[in-house]
Amino acid sequence: MSGPLANPAFRRLWVAGFVSEIGDWVLQVAMPIYVYQLTGSVGATATTFVVALLPGIALSPVAGVLADRWDRRRLMLLVSVAQALALLPLLAVRGAEDLVLVNVVTACQAGLAALFEPAKSALLPSLLERDQITAANGLIGLNGNLARLLGASLGGVLLGCTGLPGVLAADAASFLLAAALLVRAFGVDAEPVEHPPVVRAWVEGLREITGRRQLRFMVLVVGLMSTAQGLFVVLFVVFVTERIGGDEAATGLLRGVQAVGGLVGGALVGVLARRFVPGRVLAWGLLSLGVLSAVIWNSASLTTSLPYYLVGFAVVGAPGVVVGAGMLSVLQLHTSDATRGRVLSSFFSLFDGFQAVGMIIAGALVGPFGLPVLLDVQAGLYVLAGVLAVQRQWGDGDEQRGRDEEGHDRVEVVQGHDQRR
């Protein structure tokens, strides 16, 4: 089996996604800093963070419909160009009175990014063989962590050295370069395809989830793991500050070092993909993540050494990427090409929604139950999801029945070899 990078179209998609994500991180890091410098207000800075999150949640279902309704290659190309153009209004910002304009542009960028991701993930299975999908998702996960390291650092450095214009120039250049790579990878001459109205198309995507056994099961798994992630986001800060006595710098360092492990995890996925089906990759990733989390949380009674936790959180980054790659691969391979964008975007919304539930639970229950109990619950949710996934039969039974009922054309689509694209 040749690797995914041997495929020229995937290779350019991979590089384009990497370049685009660097641009996303440059803006995500630079803008809150810029807003704080502009206003001197913690509240205004927090508002910018919230503004950056909301469009992704709100637009995720619509993004899935668009990813299936329009040609995915054209959609990604247009989004990349739009992201570059949407930065231009920020050149008019002069002071705190322009904060509304800053937040509008931030929301637009987040909304455009929400359109890009389902299209990219839905397109992937039509470029590669089935046995390459998991390894390809691992490479994309590696990209995300490397882009996080480079883009986050670059955003702060550029803002300090060149001010906002330098940030905008680098960000726009990344989006335009991604667009150029997409043109080279696919061209722009795809024929339009007829699709049902938007509302009906969205309902069809939900029916795809309820009608497939593996996708119904994934609702449970994704709900458990995203709730655990929501608990982590809140409890992590409390753990670092109260249990091991870390300051703001230590909190940021421990959160960022997970990207280092993520780079290792991206490479590890390729090895696992040669030995296990995607569902097993997901299962072992969840179990590893849960066990490692439990070890870290319960180590605070033995040591508060920062180097120990730097190593621990770096290691945890590896199964985190394995879990992400396994989850995406299962969703991609158990969904028809015609509805893949809607299914993926629905699961992205599901993840965000349950993550919010986890955050609320953490805030409400950490007082009555105490931090150690909730930290163990957080690790236990990952372990529970992993145990359920290990026991699951991950064959193609649902997909085979769907193909028999719906005909030969469905076979080509589900297997990811839709020659019409």
Whole-angstrom distance, CA of residue 232 vs CA of residue 246: 16
* 164/221 same-domain check: no
* Residue 34 falls inside a structural domain: yes
Domain boundary at 153, 185, 217, which?
185
For all residues of the chain together, what is the average pLDDT? 82
pLDDT top residue among 325 and 143: 325
* 253/388 same-domain check: yes
> What does R_g of the chain's alpha carbons equal in angstroms?
21
Please check the confidence at residue 158 and state whether its pLDDT lies above 80: yes
Model confidence band, residue 88 (pLDDT cutoffs 50, 70, 90):
very high
pTM over 0.85: no
* 291/317 same-domain check: yes
* Residue 420 falls inside a structural domain: no
* 209/169 same-domain check: no
Tens digit of pLDDT for each residue in 43-60? 676 677 667 767 877 787
Contact status, residue 169 vs residue 176, Cβ threshold 8 Å: no
Give the torsion sign (CA, 37, 38, 39, 44).
negative
* Residue 412 falls inside a structural domain: no
pLDDT on residue 208: 86
Whole-angstrom distance, CA of residue 55 vs CA of residue 292: 33
Domain boundary at 161, 185, 209, which?
185
* Amino acid at residue number 285: G
Model confidence band, residue 251 (pLDDT cutoffs 50, 70, 90):
confident
Whole-angstrom distance, CA of residue 23 vs CA of residue 148: 10
CATH number at residue 268: 1.20.1250.20
* 108/240 same-domain check: no
DSSP per-residue string spanning 232-247: HHHHHHHIIIIIS---
pLDDT top residue among 191 and 337: 337
* Residue 214 falls inside a structural domain: yes
Domain hosting residue 208, numbered range: 200-406
Whole-angstrom distance, CA of residue 217 vs CA of residue 329: 14
* Residue 413 falls inside a structural domain: no
* 271/398 same-domain check: yes
Model confidence band, residue 398 (pLDDT cutoffs 50, 70, 90):
very low
* 160/241 same-domain check: no
DSSP letter (8 states) at residue 276: S
Contact status, residue 281 vs residue 377, Cβ threshold 8 Å: no
Q: How many CB atoms lie within 10 A of CB 165?
A: 11
- Domain count for the chain, please give it: 2
Phi, psi of 389, deg, nearest 5:
-70, -35
Q: 100-126 b/e with 16+ CB inside 10 Å = b?
A: eebbebbbbbbbbbbbbbbbbbbbbbb
* 107/166 same-domain check: yes
* 293/357 same-domain check: yes
Tens digit of pLDDT for each residue in 366-392? 889 999 999 999 999 999 999 999 999
* Residue 144 falls inside a structural domain: yes
Domain boundary at 128, 157, 185, which?
185
* Residue 272 falls inside a structural domain: yes
* 371/271 same-domain check: yes
* Residue 282 falls inside a structural domain: yes
Tens digit of pLDDT for each residue in 287-315? 999 999 999 999 999 999 999 999 999 99
Tokens of 355: 């993550």
* 246/309 same-domain check: yes
Tokens of 281: 């990759």
pLDDT on residue 266: 83
Residues 6+ apart with CB under 8 A from 398: 212, 213, 214, 215, 334
Residue written as token pair 């180097």? 307
* 72/102 same-domain check: yes
Q: 250-269 b/e with 16+ CB inside 10 Å = b?
A: beebbebbbbbbbbbbbebb
pLDDT on residue 30: 81
